[in-house]
Structure 1
């Protein structure tokens, strides 16, 4: 789910994620039926307008996934459909949630 126009998965990043999943599974005693995860390029993911919004786009992707227990986002971001567009309101919501989270952490640490 890369929000930049170049949508190729970096091989080092793929190895890091695959290794992380294996480590997680070994620590939780989960037996995986696959040797490694299946990677799918979701072409319909929103594209950021410039190269400075990547952090907010990643946080918005994560928010969409966490709030989607049925993993419908895969269908929403599939290239067969019109690309999903994050409008400024979507990004501002992530910014506001981040500020609220940080504010709460600051007050808890006093």
Structure 2
């Protein structure tokens, strides 16, 4: 994948292996990740909850949760763990003890079937990173939007993923 967005240094990624169990280690790791580099970057955190991938985007004091399932689902334990980590970071960084606002982006494009959630999460990250205007929240906020990601777009992500993996072989 060739990224032509000049703002890529404004992005950070959180290890999905760290978010698998929402314990104190998760919160400590997230706080440490915020401390690396610019804490105001947009953080992508793919999260697997019960064999389903979602994307958490932490940006500008807000947490955005993008779920590729067509039905609405909430993640209260994840919300609490992220809130605790953000508050802990804010206190340590001298930013007060403000909790983040948590928003479910209900109009984000959905997976076309029942097994594409991981590829959709990668597609979300690519779309957001390539958007110079950073309009993903506005673009995907409509609650009654019934858009699915096209098969061709998913195939492109699949091929890019395979190409990346092959580069290590």
User: TM-score band (shorter)?
Assistant: 0.7 to 0.9
Distance (whole Å) between structure 1 residues aligned to residue 143 and residue 72 of structure 2:
16
Q: Which has the larger radius of gyration?
A: 1
Matching residue within 83, 93, 105 for 2:168: 105
* 1:10 positional shift: 0.8
Coordinate RMSD, CA, aligned: 2.7
Could you report, residue by residue, the CA deviation over 1:33-85 in whole angstroms, capped at 9, with x for unpaired residues?
67122122222111212221111111111111222253211111021685443
Tell me which residue corresponds to 2:98. 35
Instruction: Indicate which of 151, 155, 168 corresponds to 1:92.
Output: 155
Number of residue pairs matched? 104
The unaligned stretches of length 5 or more in structure 1 are none
> Which of residues 46, 59, 72 in structure 1 aligns to 2:109?
46
Instruction: Mark the CA change 1:25 to 1:33 in structure 2 (over 3 Å): closer, same or farther.
Output: closer
Structure 1 distance, partners of 2:112, 2:128, is 21
CA distance in 2, matches of 1:101, 1:74: 28
Residue 5 of structure 1, CA deviation: 2.3
- TM-aligned CA deviation for residue 17 of structure 1: 2.8
Q: Structure with the greater relative contact order (CA < 8 A, sep ≥ 6): 1 or 2? A: 1
Structure (1/2) with the larger helix percentage: 1
TM-score with structure 1 setting the length: 0.73
Correspondence for 1:14: 79
Structure 2 residue ranges without an equivalent (≥5): 1-65
Residue 4 (str. 1) matches residue 75 (str. 2): no
Which has a greater percent of strand?
Answer: 2
- How many Å apart are 1:18 and its aligned residue? 2.7
